[in-house]
Structure 1
Amino acid sequence: MPEVRRCSSHGFHEGDRCPVCGNVGEPVIDAERRRRLSKYLSGALRHFPDDAGIDLDERGWTARPGLVDAARRQYDWADDAAVAAVVATDPKGRFEVDDDRVRAAYGHSVPVELEPSDAPIPDVLYHGTAPDSVEAILSEGIRPMSRQLVHLSGSVAEAVEVGARHAADPEVLRVDAAGMVAKGHRITKRGNGVFTADRVPPEYVERRD
């Protein structure tokens, strides 16, 4: 992750210059602190809100001032601008903002009810996994495991990136998203390039040609 700066006219941006006007932005958070703060905020909003000292409502929202306070307890340099910069510029769209509230867009292990999205769903999605999990998936389908929902990717490259968290040589499986939707299974787009479902039955999963 590159550093984040703030343009006085166009807000937060990555790199030295604002992509809109070309002016050099004011530094807000460097690359290493951005990585650390992003990881902490994601964890607090998805997995350990109680430990972080924040309250999530049933939709996963929390007040931004409370989230900033939690971040500052973790890192004394994490001020409101740093939190806002991390949330606004996340490349995968991990965060959502509504006025003065923030939530994780996906990936929860704590119980929340995210609203359905009307974003279009591709006919084909992908799932990256470890090679030794493939046979079980083809037999039993894809289950959410430690998360609330199954995560699917919109491209092979994104699925490889996800699968690489589990194996050095991940295998990417093809998911018949159009078939799932036609049979009433709900798939929702979350963030940038992430799609979620309660589960994927085995008849919709296959190896790629």
Structure 2
Amino acid sequence: MRSVKRCKVCGVYVEEDMHCGAPCLEVLDGARRLRLSRLMSAVLRHVAPSFGLRINRGGWVPIRSLVEALKVRCPWLKEEHVVAVAMTDPKGRFEVKGGLIRARYGHSLSVHIDYPEDASVNRLYHGTVKPRDELILREGIKPMKRRMVHLSPTIEDALLNASRWRGHPIVIEVDAERLRRMGFKVYRASPSVYLTPYVPPSCIVRVIEP
């Protein structure tokens, strides 16, 4: 993962060395950025109580509290590091607002987030590996340990998700229009992540093997 930097002119966090015609200041190197991103995801989605954090119903926690909790693992951590990771996350995993931060999606913790409902996308994709497709074709796509099924807008994004698992990567193509007709709402959690409660077998169009 690339390092994250701050523009000296406008203050925005970027990956580029130059912004607004001026050199940027490095905030976090690539290794620490990756480590912090994974830790933030785990804590905000799954294990906040284990770190002494109280997340509200909307999934929010004060950035200052998160920093203090994570210093057990990252003694060097500052609030700017957390904000920089959140603002530059390529999948839009985090949201920052008024001194608070939350994970946008992927929770096993009990939270309630009002996602915008999507009514336009026709096809969505789910990345997995063989032989999981056999069970999916029989029983559909379930949230498993998450609260919602995660779907991607492109085959490429789905393949990237599938690469996290051991095995031959495949992509399940989903008919989002049919999902809606069957009463399953589709939500847009970020530009690269869509959510739905369940994908029944009848909404699976095909299995794509790259």
TM-score category (smaller protein): over 0.9
1:45-64 correspondence to structure 2 within 5 Å: 45-64=44-63
- C-alpha distance in 1, partners of 2:119/2:68? 37
2:2 corresponds to which residue?
Answer: 2
- C-alpha distance in 1, partners of 2:140/2:5? 43
Q: Deviations over 1:71-128 (max 9, x none)?
A: 2232111111111111111111000112111100111111111113145541000111
Opposite residue 13 of structure 1, the aligned amino acid is: V
- C-alpha distance in 1, partners of 2:63/2:192? 25
Q: Deviations over 1:166-208 (max 9, x none)?
A: 2342111110001112332111111231111111111101314
Large movers: runs of 4+ above 3 Å: 118-121
1:117 corresponds to which residue?
Answer: 116
Consecutive unaligned residues in structure 1, runs of 5 or more: none
- 1:45 counterpart SS class: helix
What is the TM-score when the length of structure 2 is the normalising length?
0.93
Consecutive unaligned residues in structure 2, runs of 5 or more: none
- C-alpha distance in 2, partners of 1:130/1:5? 35
- C-alpha distance in 2, partners of 1:90/1:126? 21
Opposite residue 124 of structure 1, the aligned amino acid is: R
- 2:101 counterpart SS class: strand
Opposite residue 149 of structure 2, the aligned amino acid is: V
Report which stretch shifted further, 190-199 or 164-173. Answer: 164-173
- C-alpha distance in 2, partners of 1:47/1:163? 21
- 1:28 counterpart SS class: strand
Q: Is the 8 A contact 2:118 2:186 kept in 1?
A: no
Relative distance call for 1:120 and 1:24 in structure 2 (3 A) is farther
Q: Is the 8 A contact 2:119 2:186 kept in 1?
A: no
Q: Is the 8 A contact 1:95 1:191 kept in 2?
A: no
- 2:131 counterpart SS class: helix
Q: Is the 8 A contact 2:41 2:103 kept in 1?
A: yes
Identity rate, percent: 37
Q: Deviations over 1:109-168 (max 9, x none)?
A: 111111131455410001111111112111111001111111011100111111122234
Q: Is the 8 A contact 1:138 1:206 kept in 2?
A: no
2:31 corresponds to which residue?
Answer: 32
2:87 corresponds to which residue?
Answer: 88
Relative distance call for 1:26 and 1:119 in structure 2 (3 A) is farther
1:151 corresponds to which residue?
Answer: 150
